[in-house]
Amino acid sequence: MDTKLIYLDHAATTPVHPKVLEAMLPYFSEKFGNPSSIYSIARETRAGLDHARDTVAEILGAKANEIIFTSGGSESDNLAIKGVALSQRKRGNHIITSPIEHHAVSHTCEYLQKHFGFEITHVSVDKHGVVDLDALATAIRPTTTLITIMMANNEVGTIEPIEEIAKMIKGKGIFFHTDAVQATGSLDINVDRLGVDMLSMSAHKFYGPKGVGALYVRRGTSILPQQQGGGQERHRRAGTENTAGIVGMATALKMSYDEMESRNEHARKLRDKLIAGITKIDRTILTGHPTNRLPNNASFCFEFVEGESILLNLDMLGIAASSGSACTSASLEPSHVLRAMGIPVEIAHGSLRLTTGMDNDEEQIDRVITALPGIIAKLRAMSPLASSAS
């Protein structure tokens, strides 16, 4: 048996691209200075930081001073949501979001609700995970100060109508944030086209390093800093910048957009092959929007099996994947995303997410398609639910 790893969990993280690592290395050694200092070695570091900021801003269609570097997507989401909500408390305390957000968004909203008395409205989504625009329009109140809706879902890949939401709330005095962590590298994130006031990204989702991200904040957006200390990032995010990581992120971002068309074409071809092959398995459901989804995301639910059991069996064959379920061996709770989409609990437990990347090829996809039916059949043969339904 070929034991070479087949990695199909690129939505969770990606390997650092060799060219990204190459760009980072000098900032661990000869260009190690603190970018806030004034001597020559620090000026070299500052030049690398400034160039990275310019690169990120250019891809976003933003100004360099609208980019805040952070430790990743979670910090970016926290800074955007808490920063705007707390700065606007005297004007209103109502936030609108969706029930399918990443926990970096949903738990931040819950925190504001529990500790600061904010009111949170979760607008419904349809069976594909698309936000209901009519429900969102109805949810807006005079006290609404912030809307936060993800650009694309991390579990099922559905792309949300961000531009339509932005047009809907234009002129209402409501700030609009989108978590674009899963979308960056695959979709156009030009902030003027999207119409957003804030946008979060994380480098490790597009072949950059872990532990670094960015938050775009449109000029004029009121935001209360959440981390106190020095005056870095124009006093919006204290702490010595992770210059090597930031340079790596900018390099990875530029590469991903320079190569987006070819990367997406490759990912889409493998994704569609996975979907065509796996949906032939009896009692299998494709989750997420059938067409308007991320180019590398193929997500499914299998009746009468547990998602984690599928993962363990795939792992024994050298295939790394993910379950769309948030459950662990000690919990029977299925994914909040699948539940919000109306998928019955007993079916949501059997979820599987396969996300392709640059290094995958058709031979690997064929191996997965060949292996999976046997795994599902074996697990169903052990399931009392399958026996009673047959």
Confirm if 212 and 72 have CB atoms less than 8 A apart: yes
**What local confidence, expressed as pLDDT, does residue 266 receive?**
98
Q: Given the residues 139, 285, 320, 327, select the one marked as catalytic.
A: 327
**What local confidence, expressed as pLDDT, does residue 130 receive?**
98
pLDDT exceeds cutoff 80 at 330: no
Give the number of other CB atoms < 10 A from CB of residue 52. Answer: 28
**What local confidence, expressed as pLDDT, does residue 325 receive?**
43
Residues forming CATH 3.90.1150.10 domain(s) in the chain: 260-389
Residues forming CATH 3.40.640.10 domain(s) in the chain: 18-258
**What local confidence, expressed as pLDDT, does residue 334 receive?**
84
| 3-state class (DSSP) for residue 308 | helix
Is 327 one of the annotated active-site residues of the chain?
A: yes
Report whether CATH 3.90.1150.10 matches the domain 260-389. Answer: yes
354 beta partners: 298
Which CATH code for domain 18-258? Answer: 3.40.640.10
Q: Exposed (0-12), middle (13-18) or buried (19+): which is 21, by Cβ within 10 Å?
A: middle
- The whole-angstrom separation of Cα 34 and Cα 50 is 13
pLDDT exceeds cutoff 70 at 388: no
- The whole-angstrom separation of Cα 262 and Cα 76 is 29
Averaged pLDDT, 246-269: 98
**What local confidence, expressed as pLDDT, does residue 272 receive?**
98
pTM of the model: 0.95
Q: pLDDT digit string (tens) for 126-181?
A: 999 999 999 999 999 999 999 999 999 999 999 999 999 999 999 999 999 999 99
